[in-house]
Amino acid sequence: MNLLNYVPGNSFLHRLNPITKLAAAFLYGLACILCGSILMELGFIVLMIAVCAVAGLGKRALRLTRNLLILGLFMFVLQLFFVRTGEALVQIGEFVLITTGGLASALLLSLRVVATMLPLMLLFAITPMNDLCNALVKKAHLPYRYAFILTTAFRFVPLFSTEFHEIQDAQKARGVDFETKNLFRKIGLVAPLCVPLLVSSLEKVNSSAISAEMRGFHLRTRQSGYKEYPFTGRDVLIFVILISLVVFSALFL
Amino acid sequence: MIVADHVTFQYAESSEPALRDISLSIDDGDFVGITGTSGAGKSTLAMALNGIVPHEWKGDFYGSVKIDGMDTVEHQTEDFCRKIGEVFQDIDSQMVASVVEDEILFGLENFGVPHGEIKIRLEKVLEDLGIPDLRKREISSLSGGQKQKVAIAAILALEPRILVLDEPTGELDPESSREIFGLLRKLNEEKGITIVIIEQKIKLLCEYVKRLIVLDKGALAFDGVPGEIISHIETFKTLGINVPPVAELSYLLRQSGVYDGGITLTVQEAEKMVREVLHDPV
Ligand SMILES: Nc1ncnc2c1ncn2[C@@H]1O[C@H](COP(=O)(O)OP(=O)(O)OP(=O)(O)O)[C@@H](O)[C@H]1O
Ligand SMILES: [Mg+2]
């Protein structure tokens, strides 16, 4: 199950200009970074999930949140033991293990990570990569070759995983057992597969480049794009709301 | 027109040539089929005809290929990419977009086709290949045959004067394969587009192409009209190429002396022949 692929739809989120979506995701993330209250970070997460739920993406938002919480947990543990301010909370003999300051900053940091990453991850659910890149070329004057590299990189991710599973299946058919619980043994089994995977991937990228070349990649200009991405009143509204949110978060939270 | 003159090519990482001393010329409006066993050099030949070899695949290249008088070694791919289009053998890696529509738009946009015409061509080519319903689909979610049709559509939309297709029906069922060949014949006859098609299904080739080329270990083993294969059937067999059963039947009947007509390449012709031999008119 890929949590970064596009979810087709026609909600108000889907219908925004791709550039608005990108900017909104960043602005929302910025507001979360500027925010210094644990409660409000929680609020940002809940708000994001609620907005997604209204747009029919509630499930995706929840699953992403769950996965990001694992990352958050990791940050939490690190921060918990590194920050030594405040009073002792857990003590083993003379040694102070956890402090109140540590707990507070660990909570804040981990929630902030989740709240900041969530909108960026959700961006992929509502924006086809191709549209995002084309809009960036047309409106933000990003050179087409960079846009192309970006879309291609994204397109190749599922291709790689299919390829990897194919190679793995071929090995399984020869009796190699990948289901082992032993991590080191598993790494030992998977590592040799990386070389053929890399070789075949590089070959694919090369063929893809040749195919693009033959179809006039070099002739492309900024005006070439067929699809237009006009800004509408809705986009302006989103910009106003999110900039206000950032300002509010910077000043009061 | 493409003229290959004593072309020999050896891939950089290979120990023997993939093409050996190939000379041929493909006229405007020709419909050429290329066949041969696996590894015979068909794909390499196709790529030599449009300059991808030796520009993009490095190796030792001898001889020359000229497209409308332009030497492929002296010119860059961008100089002839408008003239000649290729549908490659590897379906997945020739895709440049993730949605069908964008895949077809890519070349049209690059070549600066007017935006009003882009829409018409996009819809027409989807219609021609019978895939209008795939328009908004993710390419990664398509079956092999569907992907193949998308790859063909993306090139057809560009309307090149010369069209090279490297085993474009490998993933298709017999009926769709026949439809593709029918479409190519129509393009060839109505628009005069030159077609070079690599194909393993020799029966289809014999039915549709005007000229057949057989490669064996990188060298030309046969170059003529499909009807001529009758006098080469033994050669074909030693090359490991299956001639169409109907062709073999006419050959065998001729060998045994009961039939003295030409080669039969379609079932209809074969039926006529058999009735003639059995003195059993319809
Ligand atoms: N990139 C490459 N590097 C080195 N050798 C190659 C490369 N591509 C093909 N070859 C070799 O060149 C020869 C001709 O290959 P080519 O792909 O042209 O054959 P083909 O007739 O198209 O075969 P198939 O029917 O399998 O597609 C083969 O021996 C092959 O191993
Ligand atoms: Mg080939």
Q: How confident is the model at residue A197 (pLDDT cuts 50, 70, 90)?
A: confident
State if residue B255 touches ligand 1 by the CB under 6 angstroms criterion: no
| Chain A contact probe: residue of B82, B102, B113, B163 with most A CBs at under 10 A | B102
Mean pLDDT (whole number) for B239-263: 84
State if residue B105 touches ligand 1 by the CB under 6 angstroms criterion: no
Residues in chain B closer than 8 A to A130 (CB atoms):
97-99, 102
Residues in chain A closer than 8 A to B140 (CB atoms):
155, 158-159, 162
The pTM of the whole model exceeds 0.90: no
Domain containing B11 — which CATH number? 3.40.50.300
- Report pLDDT digits (tens) over B92-103: 889 998 899 999
Residue (of A15, A243, A30, A248) closest to A128 by Cα position: A15
Residues, CB-to-ion distance under 5 Å, ligand 2: B 42-43, 89
Terminal CA-CA length for chain B: 45
Using CA positions, which residue lies closest to atom 12 of ligand 1? B18
Longest dimension (CA), chain A: 73
B60 and B136 housed in the same domain: yes
For the CA of B19, the nearest atom of ligand 1: 14
B277 and B154 housed in the same domain: no
Q: What token pair was written down for B225?
A: 């009209």
Residue reference for tokens 């699953």 = A63
- Is the pLDDT confidence value at A159 over 80? no
B222 and B260 housed in the same domain: no
- Is the pLDDT confidence value at A1 over 60? no
Helices (H) and strands (E) in chain B, counts: 11, 10
Q: What is the DSSP track for A21-82?
A: HHHHHHHHHHHHHH---HHHHHHHHHHHHHHHHHTT-HHHHHHHHHHHHHHHHHHHHHHHHH
- Is the pLDDT confidence value at A4 over 60? yes
**What domain range is B151 assigned to?**
2-235
Rounded to the nearest angstrom, the gap between the alpha carbon of residue B42 and the centroid of all alpha carbons in its chain is: 10
φ, ψ for residue B9, nearest 5 deg: -140, 135
CA distance B12 to chain A (A): 15
* Percentage with pLDDT > 90 across chain B: 63
- Report pLDDT digits (tens) over B5-23: 999 999 998 999 999 999 9
B46 contacts: CB under 8 Å, gap ≥ 6: B34, B86, B164, B166, B196, B198
Cβ atoms B170, B137 nearer than 8 A:
no
Could you state, in order of their start, the residue ranges of all structural domains in chain A?
18-127+230-252, 136-220
**Residue B221 CA neighbour count, 13 Å, CB half:** 23
Query: What span, in angstroms and rounded, lies between the C-alpha atoms of A14 and A126?
Result: 5
State if residue B89 touches ligand 1 by the CB under 6 angstroms criterion: yes
State if residue B42 touches ligand 1 by the CB under 6 angstroms criterion: yes
**Closest CB to B81 among A155, A208, A216:** A216
B39 and B10 housed in the same domain: yes
Cβ atoms A94, A53 nearer than 8 A:
no
Q: How confident is the model at residue A184 (pLDDT cuts 50, 70, 90)?
A: confident
| Chain B contact probe: residue of A6, A138, A210, A214 with most B CBs at under 10 A | A214
What residue type is assigned to position B66 of the chain?
A: K
B231 and B249 housed in the same domain: no
Q: What token pair was written down for A5?
A: 């692929």
Longest dimension (CA), chain B: 63
pLDDT of B282 reads: 65
Cβ atoms A129, A151 nearer than 8 A:
yes
3-state SS assignment for residue A117: helix
**Residue A210 CA neighbour count, 13 Å, CB half:** 25
Q: What token pair was written down for B25?
A: 């010329």
pLDDT of A102 reads: 81
φ, ψ for residue A37, nearest 5 deg: -115, 130
Q: What token pair was written down for B277?
A: 């031999």
Q: How confident is the model at residue B83 (pLDDT cuts 50, 70, 90)?
A: very high
Query: What span, in angstroms and rounded, lies between the C-alpha atoms of B249 and A10?
Result: 60
Helices (H) and strands (E) in chain A, counts: 8, 2
Query: What span, in angstroms and rounded, lies between the C-alpha atoms of B62 and B33?
Result: 24
Angle at CA of residue A145, ends A141 and A146, nearest 5°: 70
Residue reference for tokens 């030792």 = B60
Using CA positions, which residue lies closest to atom 6 of ligand 1? B11
Residue (of B2, B119, B199, B101) closest to A130 by Cα position: B101
Q: What token pair was written down for B50?
A: 């449009």
Terminal CA-CA length for chain A: 36
B202 and B250 housed in the same domain: no
CB pairs under 8 A between A and B: 92
pLDDT of B255 reads: 85
State if residue B126 touches ligand 1 by the CB under 6 angstroms criterion: no
Query: What span, in angstroms and rounded, lies between the C-alpha atoms of B73 and B51?
Result: 7
B169 and B282 housed in the same domain: no
Least confidently predicted of A69-78, A86-95, A142-151: A86-95
Residue B124 CB neighbours (<10 A): 13
Binary contact (A203, B85; C-beta < 8 A) = no
Q: What is the DSSP track for B168-233?
A: TTTTS-HHHHHHHHHHHHHHHHHH--EEEEE-S-HHHHHHH-SEEEEEETTEEEEEE-GGGGGGGH
* Model ipTM value: 0.85
Angle at CA of residue B167, ends B216 and B270, nearest 5°: 80
- Residue B60 pairs in a beta bridge with B10
Angle at CA of residue A224, ends A130 and B166, nearest 5°: 70
φ, ψ for residue B24, nearest 5 deg: -160, 160
Helix (H) or strand (E) holding B23: strand B19-26
Mean pLDDT (whole number) for A141-166: 80
Q: What token pair was written down for B77?
A: 């791919």
How many domains does chain B contain in total?
2
B273 and B188 housed in the same domain: no
B223 and B250 housed in the same domain: no
B219 contacts: CB under 8 Å, gap ≥ 6: B20, B21, B22
B47 and B103 housed in the same domain: yes
